[in-house]
Amino acid sequence: MRDVKEKISVVMPAYNESSHIVASVEETIKTFQNFGCDWELLVMDDGSNDDTYDRLSVLSAKYPRHLILKKNSVNLGKGRALKKALRYISGDYTVFLDADMDLHPIQVQTLFDIMRLDGADIVIGSKLHPNSIVNYSFQRRVISLVYYWLVRILFNLPCHDTQTGLKLFKTEVLRKVFPRILVKQFAFDLEVLVNAHHLGYKIAEAPIVLNPQRRYGRMGFRVIVKTGWDTLAIFYRMYILKYYDRIDYYRRKNLAKEFRRVRR
């Protein structure tokens, strides 16, 4: 990616990832060093109660130029951690990358290629892309397919898979979309994409290679129910309450009031 002149910010949320966080961060750093572009890696520890942060602190001293480390005092959820991370990054592009290395960061190159070719504002990795190579259970495949149809029916998004943990954004898109976002946990990705699509940003999909590092994932029954509930709540806010449109209206109204006050 030496042809990418702008800066890239990689955001990696982490929660109780002590067993492999060092290997994940060093592999990401090695990959981006080989890319040869201007980059930074922000690891957002979301209130881990193991020694994830201690291990990261050692690494931050080893890579002071590129590695940024922040921590929430308590676990707030992946979505909240990603929103907070936006305060600290400085890149023109932002990559979301999960800490478990199910998706190797070398695949970021493919996302940039597709962004350039399609003129997209957002490119998301998709397990359901016909060229993807995925190695996960039949149960997970069924859940992904059912959720795809639910999202398709409710929102008609131009993508098949909103939940894969590898995404590329123009940072300006996130700065526009994040103030609208309420979901703190598992449907956070969906709320971001629904709002970006609603605002007219172009979303494209990329094939991925997925190699799960955990024998058992973190998707239990509680997670599925919570994600489904949040998904319905996003639909309610978007199409019934018109909440997201009213956010823009009141923001513009408040800015106009402030402008008039300053001019007096």
Check residue 239 and report its DSSP letter.
I
Enter the pTM of the model. Answer: 0.91
Tell me the pLDDT of the chain averaged across its residues: 91
CA distance 103 to 176: 27
Q: Report how far residue 120's alpha carbon sits from residue 204's, in angstroms, rounded to the nearest whole number.
A: 6
Distance CA 32, CA 26 (A): 10
CA 247 centroid distance within chain? 22
Q: Judging by DSSP bridges, how do beta strands 67-71 and 39-45 pair with one another? A: parallel
Average pLDDT score over residue span 3-30? 95
45 sits in which H/E element: strand 39-45
pLDDT tens digits for 52-94?
A: 999 999 999 999 999 999 999 999 999 999 999 999 999 999 9
Please state, in angstroms and as integers, the Cα–Cα distance from residue 24 to each residue in 29, 52, 98, following that order: 9, 12, 9
Dump pLDDT digits (tens) for 129-181.
999 999 888 888 899 899 999 999 999 999 999 999 999 999 999 999 999 99
Domains of the chain plus CATH, in order, are 8-263 (3.90.550.10)
pLDDT at 42 over 70: yes
Q: Which residues pair with 122 in a beta bridge?
A: 169, 203
**Pairing outcome for strands 8-14 and 93-97:** parallel
